[in-house]
Amino acid sequence: MGIADFGTIALMAAFAVCVYGTVVPHLGVKNNNWNLIRSAQNASILSFLLIAIASAVLLQALLVSDFSLRYVWEHSSTDMPLFYKVSSFWGGLEGSLLFWVLVQSFFAMIVAFRYQYSNREIIPYVIATLNAIMAFLLLLLIGWSNPLDLQGVIPLEGRGLNPLLQNPAMAIHPPSLYLGFIGFSVPFAFAMGGLILGKMDNEWVLTTRRWTLTAWYFLSAGLILGGQWAYEELGWGGFWAWDPVENAAFMPWLTGTAFLHSVMIQEKRNMLKIWNVVLIILTFGLTIVGTFLTRSGIINSVHAFTQSEIGPAFLIFLAFVLVIGFGLLFKRIQMLESEHKIESVLCRENAFLAQNVLLVGIAFTVLLGTTFPLLAEAVRGTKLSIQAPFFNTIIAPMGYLLLLLMGIGTLIAWRKSSWEGLQRNFKNPLILATAGTVFLAWFLADRDLLWSVHTIFWLTIFVTSTIVLEIVKAVQAKSSQTKSNFIMALFYVIARNPRRYGGLLIHFGVVLMFLGFAGTFFKVERNMTLESGVPQEIGEYSLEFKQMEEFKVGNATHRAAIVNVFDKEGNFLEVLKPAKSFYPTQPQPLTEVAIRRSFLEDLYLIFSSENGGEQDSITLRVFINPLVGWAWMALPVFTLGVGLSMSYRPKSLVAHETILRERYLAAQALNS
Partner 1 sequence: MWTSWKFWVVWGLIIGLIALLAFGFTTDPKKVPSPLVGRPAPDFEITALNGAEKIRLSEFKGKPVLLNYWASWCQECKVEAHILEAFHQKYGSATQQIKVIGIAIQDTPDKAKSFARQFGKTYFLGLDDAAGNIALDYGIYGVPETFFIDPEGTIFYKHIGAVNAELLEKKFKPFF
Closest among 172, 150, 8, 148 to 68, alpha carbons compared? 150
Neighbours of 114 (CB within 10 A): 12
337 binds partner 1 (CB under 8 A): yes
Residues in region 376-395 near partner 1 by CB under 8 A: 377-378, 383, 385
Rg (CA), the chain: 27
Other CB atoms within a 10 A radius of the CB of residue 495 amount to: 11
One-letter identity of residue 78: T
Q: Which of 45, 142, 315, 646 binds partner 1 (CB under 8 A)?
A: 315
144 binding partner 1? (CB under 8 A)? no
Q: Among residues 299, 515, 624, 637, which is the contact residue for partner 1, using CB under 8 A?
A: 299
Helix 93-114 and helix 185-197, axial crossing angle in degrees, nearest 10: 50
Q: In whole angstroms, how close is the CB of 256 to partner 1 at the nearest point?
A: 19
Residue 270 makes contact with partner 1 by CB under 8 A: no
CB of 616 to partner 1, least distance (A): 14
H-type helices in 342-496, by residue range?
348-379, 388-411, 419-443, 451-482, 486-496
Q: If binding is defined by CB under 8 A, does position 175 make contact with partner 1?
A: no
Tell me which amino acid residue 390 is.
F
- Closest distance between partner 1 and the C-beta of residue 304, in Å? 9
For 214-249, letters b (16+ CB in 10 Å) and e give: bbbbbbbbbbbbbbbbbbbbbbebbbbbbbbbbbbb
For the CA atoms of 82, 107, 252, 348, the dihedral, rounded to the nearest 10 degrees, stands at -130
Q: How far is the CB of 285 from partner 1 (least distance, A)?
A: 9
The Cα–Cα gap between 82 and 65 comes to: 11
- Of residues 152 and 587, the one with the C-beta less far from partner 1: 587
Is 608 near partner 1 (CB under 8 A)? yes
Residue 252 or 516 with smaller CB distance to partner 1: 252
Q: Which residue in 33, 300, 418, 615 binds partner 1 (CB under 8 A)?
A: 300
| 191, containing H or E segment | helix 185-197
Contact of 386 with 372, CB cutoff 8 Å = yes
- What does the per-residue mask of binding to partner 1 show for 535-574, with x meaning CB under 8 A? ----------------------------------------
The torsion angles phi and psi of 337, rounded to 5 degrees, stand at -65, 145
Q: How far apart are CA 632 and CA 636, in angstroms?
A: 8
Residue 277 Cβ vs partner 1, minimum distance, rounded to whole Å: 12
149 in contact with partner 1 (CB under 8 A): no
319 binds partner 1 (CB under 8 A): yes
> For residues 12 and 528, which CB has a smaller minimum distance to partner 1 in the complex?
528
CB 283 within 8 A of CB 256: yes
Find the shortest distance in angstroms from Cβ 302 to partner 1.
8
Q: Compare residues 28 and 235 and give the one whose CB is closer to partner 1.
A: 235
Contacting range for partner 1; rule: CB under 8 A; set: 103-111, 184-192, 317-325, 650-658: 317-325
Residue 432 binding partner 1, by CB under 8 A: no
- C-beta of 298: minimal distance to partner 1 in Å? 3
Indicate whether 614 belongs to the interface with partner 1 (CB under 8 A). no
Specify the stretch interacting with partner 1 by CB under 8 A; choose among 86-94, 307-315, 439-447, 493-501: 307-315
Q: Count Cβ atoms within 10 A of the Cβ of residue 657 and give its class: 0-12 exposed, 13-18 middle, 19 or more buried.
A: middle
Instruction: List Cβ neighbours of 227 (8 Å cut-off, separation of 6 or more).
Output: 239, 240, 631
* DSSP 8-state code for residue 562: E
User: Least CB distance from residue 271 to partner 1, whole Å?
Assistant: 12
Part of the chain binding partner 1 (CB under 8 A), chosen from 16-24, 106-114, 369-377, 662-670: 369-377
Hey, is 624 helix, strand or coil?
strand
- Bridge partners, 604 (sequence order): 595, 623
Applying CB under 8 A, does 296 fall inside the site for partner 1? Answer: yes
485 lines the binding site for partner 1 (CB under 8 A): no
User: Is 374 among the residues that bind partner 1 (CB under 8 A)?
Assistant: yes
* Contact with partner 1 (CB under 8 A) among 9, 318, 488, 640: 318
C-alpha span between 44 and 5 (Å, rounded) = 22
298 touches partner 1 by CB under 8 A: yes
Q: According to CB under 8 A, which one of 68, 484, 619, 639 is a site residue for partner 1? A: 619
Q: What is the DSSP string of 23-82?
A: HHHHHHHHTT-HHHHHHHHHHHHHHHHHHHHHHHHHHHHHHTT-TTBHHHHHH--TTS-H
Please tell me whether residue 396 binds partner 1 under the rule CB under 8 A: no
Binds partner 1 (CB under 8 A): choice among 114, 198, 270, 302: 302
Q: Measured between alpha carbons, how far is 599 from 257 in angstroms, rounded to an integer?
A: 29
CA dihedral defined by 348, 353, 359, 362, rounded to 10 degrees? -130
Cβ-contact 556, 163 below 8 angstroms: yes
Cα gap 245→222, rounded to integer Å: 13
Which lies closer to partner 1 via its Cβ, residue 107 or residue 545? Answer: 545
| Binding of residue 632 to partner 1 (CB under 8 A) | no
**Nearer CB in complex with partner 1: 333/660:** 333
CA distances from 28 to 22, 34, 135, 399, 669 (A): 11, 6, 19, 48, 22
615 binds partner 1 (CB under 8 A): no
Question: How many residues of this chain bind partner 1 (CB under 8 A)?
Answer: 35
CA distance 76 to 67: 9
Which of 267/610 has CB closer to partner 1?
610
Nearer to partner 1, 212 or 296 (CB): 296
Task: Name which of 143 and 327 has its Cβ closer to partner 1.
Answer: 327
Binds partner 1 by CB under 8 A, chosen from 6, 34, 83, 330: 330
* Nearest-approach distance from CB 414 to partner 1, in angstroms: 23
Q: Which is nearer to partner 1, 426 or 545 (CB)?
A: 545
587 binds partner 1 (CB under 8 A): yes
- Min. distance of Cβ 41 from partner 1 in angstroms? 33
Distance, first Cα to last Cα, the chain = 48
- 371 makes contact with partner 1 (CB under 8 A): yes
Residue list 511-540, contact with partner 1 (CB under 8 A)? none
Q: Which of 52, 56, 274, 430 binds partner 1 (CB under 8 A)?
A: 274
Smallest distance, partner 1 to C-beta of residue 160, A: 16
User: Does position 154 bind partner 1 by CB under 8 A?
Assistant: no
3-state secondary structure of 365: helix
Q: Which of 71, 37, 43 is nearest to 134 (CA)?
A: 43
Q: Nearer Cβ to partner 1, position 341 or 651?
A: 341
Among 305, 326, 492, 521, binds partner 1 (CB under 8 A): 326
Say if CB 344 and CB 415 are below 8 A apart: yes
Q: Are 71 and 92 in contact (CB under 8 A)?
A: yes
Query: Which residues have CB under 8 Å from 654's CB, separation 6+?
Result: none
Binding residues vs partner 1 (CB under 8 A): 274, 289, 292, 296-300, 302, 311-312, 315, 318-319, 322-323, 326, 330, 333, 337, 371, 373-375, 377-378, 383, 385, 587-588, 608-611, 619
